[in-house]
Structure 1
Amino acid sequence: MKQSHRNAPPWLTYVTVKGDTLRHNPLGDPHERHVPVFLPPSYGGSRRFPVIYLLAGFASTGQSFLNYRFGRKTLPGQLAELMERGKMREVIVVMPDCMTRYGGSQYVDSAATGNYETYLCRELIPAIDQSLCTLPQQRHRAVAGKSSGGFGALRLAMRHPDLFSAMACHSGDMYFELSYRSSFPAAARSLAKYTGGTKEFFEKWEQAHKPVSSDFPLLDIMAMAACYSPDPSKAPPENMRFPFDPRTLDIIPEVWEEWLAFDPLVMLRNNDYAAALGNLRLLYLDCGSLDEYNLQFGHRKFSAQLEERGIAHMYEEFPDTHGDTSYRYATSLPKLADAIACTD
């Protein structure tokens, strides 16, 4: 791995990770990734810092946190202001690149897209610890994200308690019975327009200067199927199995069960995963009460199940939709920074 500044602001650098885990991935996506990293204002010298891994949502990657919008600070700019004003402890914030040609990896290992969970946990984290002045212990490391990134953060915290001691999930994917199934009709309607099936659709999507926005639900479900129910016997872009019959929308039980195994609400039934959450220094969740993907209902159920298990957590709702909610990081990230700045 190597580190560079590329004319970045003083609090931003890039770490290049070889990505040996991603070599020869099924989609031919780049294995070498350039990962943006926020460095706290006093970074330098011998001091070491805790680390937050911040995961982007579907169709976004680490670079999306750097996007400038009129009247809004980029996330690194927001972090710098919080820290300089003493409203947030100084931490390093890593913004991973786990993008795929399908629009995202869900931060899972998949025979259809690549082993992104292994890449992040067993290759990216060590690369960051080797190249930057981090506190490399689990108690000084957190994971957070929004939407697909929130799903990824929650799932990784469940599965890798050896790596993370705090977690924040903003509007993360869950309650698949309600959130994903509500998108199946729109995906089926779009698929019906393409006599060549997913292959024709995806080729046109990739070639279009301006893809048809109404076809986005099909891309989304196609990507989720690649992550949750891959079919390595077929070549991309057909190397996945849909959990429904596109003609009738009848659920295909054996495929749907594969999807449900990834649902955080289902995962929480596993005592080991529940224990991992119970041992976190901070378990933070939030969602918009007007979320278009119905995720607020899943988050309410998840919070209730945590309460039933006696697992300490924070859950907040805000009167907003699914998009444009980066302002919520000003609440969650300082809390995470407090949690992983521990000295015990």
Structure 2
Amino acid sequence: MLPWSSPLAGRIEHSTVHSELLRDNPLGDPHERPVYVYLPPGYDESGRNYPTVYVIQGYTGHVGMWFNRVPFRRPYPELADEVFAAGDTPAAIVVFVDAWTAYGGSQFLDSPATGRYHSYLCEEVVPWVDTHYRTLADRAHRAITGKSSGGYGAMITPMLRPDLFSALATHAGDALFDVCYPPDFPRLARILRDEYGGDYRAFLTDHGQRLHGTRDSDLDLIEIYGYAAAYSGNEDGTVSLPFDDTGALVPEVWARWLAWDPVRMAAEPRYAEALRSLSAIWIDAGRSDEYYLDLGATAFHRALTDAGVPDDRVHFELFDGRHGAIEYRYPLALTWLCHRIAAT
């Protein structure tokens, strides 16, 4: 296995989407966003149109990180290229989307505290891709996939916009909020008390004046704040936390978080109907996931059954592994999705 990049059978184009929806966003984040588009082997010669798979990232992810290389492993663009180079998987265009914020992520939702990232994906990126590339521009040939927070976005986006997406894959996506998030709240309350006098504003001020990661608590504190900005951001741009200074839940704020839990969303009639309309749903997670997202995957799978989604449209799997280093799962789901959104 080479420690450096190898030639692709297809090719990747690096472009920029100029977003009006993200212009003047609350955090002052860039409204010009990179988008990377993988074109499969034969795209330039064929003249035909292709299905599209949108790939979204976990918390702290931005598109440039897709090319990060660690020892003995290959980055996802190369793994995806290998899927299509073999010739036995229906070819597809793969779109790598950026939804970074100053808080490290957006959860791919519209929020008055971060910006309109769900609308950006659905109303700007999808039409941009369909305009610039030869796509099969309908829901039947469009899928979305992601891991962790990207897996969360992959679950909720087709529920919110079943007119755009007919298939999804979620790898250890955030779900079953009652289980995956609250275990951290008491620990974070202690960190805030001991390091910042219990004041998140003090942390944000301090964090903004130095390099991220120069204090051990940086990622833990900014991550939960980023989630709160997505799930419980207020119209004036402020953020309500789901726990108090003792780490106990704040019921009215926690209820706002739970409204965005894919497991609970799936039980609502409008979202259950959207899920039943999908042609393919891949769910997986490592059995030893540190954030209990294997339990979230199980609960989401069960919620699909309760919603009446036919079993033959769903792939559910728990594998030996933790939350990280599971990129080898992505091409498995990509192959499965491409067979189900291929042109007929």
* TM, length-normalised to structure 1: 0.92
Q: 1:66-112, CA deviations, whole angstroms, 9 ceiling, x for partnerless residues?
A: 22223222211111222111242211111111000000000000000
Q: In the aligned structure 2, how far is the partner of 1:269 from the partner of 1:113?
A: 27
Offset, 1:43: 1.4
Match of 2:291 in 1: 293
Matched, 1:231 2:234: yes
Q: 2:223 aligns with which of 207, 220, 242?
A: 220
In 2, are the aligned partners of 1:63 and 1:95 still within 8 Å (CA)?
A: no
What letter is aligned with 1:110?
Answer: S
Q: 1:231-286, CA deviations, whole angstroms, 9 ceiling, x for partnerless residues?
A: 3435xxxx20101112x222211111111100011101111211211121111100
Matched, 1:303 2:301: yes
For structure 2, which runs of at least 5 residues remain unmatched after alignment? 1-6
What letter is aligned with 1:133?
Answer: R
3-state SS of 2:50 partner: coil
Match of 1:245 in 2: 244
In 2, are the aligned partners of 1:205 and 1:211 still within 8 Å (CA)?
A: no
Matched, 1:67 2:68: yes
3-state SS of 2:53 partner: strand
- Bigger shift: 289-298 or 206-215? 206-215
Q: In the aligned structure 2, how far is the partner of 1:213 from the partner of 1:277?
A: 40
Offset, 1:130: 0.7
Q: In the aligned structure 1, how far is the partner of 2:108 from the partner of 2:222?
A: 17
Match of 1:283 in 2: 281
* TM, length-normalised to structure 2: 0.92
In 2, are the aligned partners of 1:143 and 1:153 still within 8 Å (CA)?
A: yes
Offset, 1:340: 0.9
In 2, are the aligned partners of 1:154 and 1:264 still within 8 Å (CA)?
A: yes
What letter is aligned with 2:135?
Answer: T
Q: In the aligned structure 2, how far is the partner of 1:58 from the partner of 1:186?
A: 20
- Bigger shift: 197-206 or 111-120? 197-206
Match of 1:3 in 2: none
3-state SS of 1:269 partner: coil
Q: Structure 2 vs 1, CA of residues 259 and 210 (structure 1 numbering), >3 Å: closer, same or farther? A: closer
Matched, 1:211 2:214: yes
Q: In the aligned structure 1, how far is the partner of 2:300 from the partner of 2:14?
A: 36
Q: In the aligned structure 2, how far is the partner of 1:325 from the partner of 1:212?
A: 27
What letter is aligned with 2:82?
Answer: E
Q: Structure 2 vs 1, CA of residues 114 and 120 (structure 1 numbering), >3 Å: closer, same or farther? A: same
Q: Structure 2 vs 1, CA of residues 265 and 90 (structure 1 numbering), >3 Å: closer, same or farther? A: same
Offset, 1:139: 0.8
Offset, 1:342: 3.5
What letter is aligned with 2:36?
Answer: P
What letter is aligned with 2:260?
Answer: F
3-state SS of 2:217 partner: helix
Map of 1:51-62 to 2, 5 A cutoff?
51-62=52-63
Q: In the aligned structure 2, how far is the partner of 1:35 from the partner of 1:73?
A: 21
For structure 1, which runs of at least 5 residues remain unmatched after alignment? 1-7
3-state SS of 2:31 partner: coil
In 1, are the aligned partners of 2:172 and 2:284 still within 8 Å (CA)?
A: yes
Map of 1:157-196 to 2, 5 A cutoff?
157-192=158-193, 193-195=195-197
Match of 1:35 in 2: 35
What letter is aligned with 1:200?
Answer: A
3-state SS of 1:103 partner: coil
Q: In the aligned structure 1, how far is the partner of 2:212 from the partner of 2:154?
A: 32
Q: In the aligned structure 1, how far is the partner of 2:267 from the partner of 2:231?
A: 19
Offset, 1:159: 1.0
Offset, 1:209: 5.8
What letter is aligned with 2:239?
Answer: M
Task: Count matched residues.
Answer: 331
Offset, 1:17: 0.5
Match of 1:110 in 2: 111
3-state SS of 1:142 partner: strand
Match of 1:316 in 2: 317
Q: What percentage of residue pairs aligned between the two structures are identical?
A: 40
What letter is aligned with 2:187?
Answer: A
Offset, 1:297: 1.3
What letter is aligned with 1:240?
Answer: V
What letter is aligned with 2:129?
Answer: I
In 2, are the aligned partners of 1:292 and 1:321 still within 8 Å (CA)?
A: yes
Match of 2:264 in 1: 266
Superposition RMSD in Å = 1.6
What letter is aligned with 2:249?
Answer: I
In 1, are the aligned partners of 2:67 and 2:75 still within 8 Å (CA)?
A: yes
Q: In the aligned structure 1, how far is the partner of 2:213 from the partner of 2:287?
A: 31
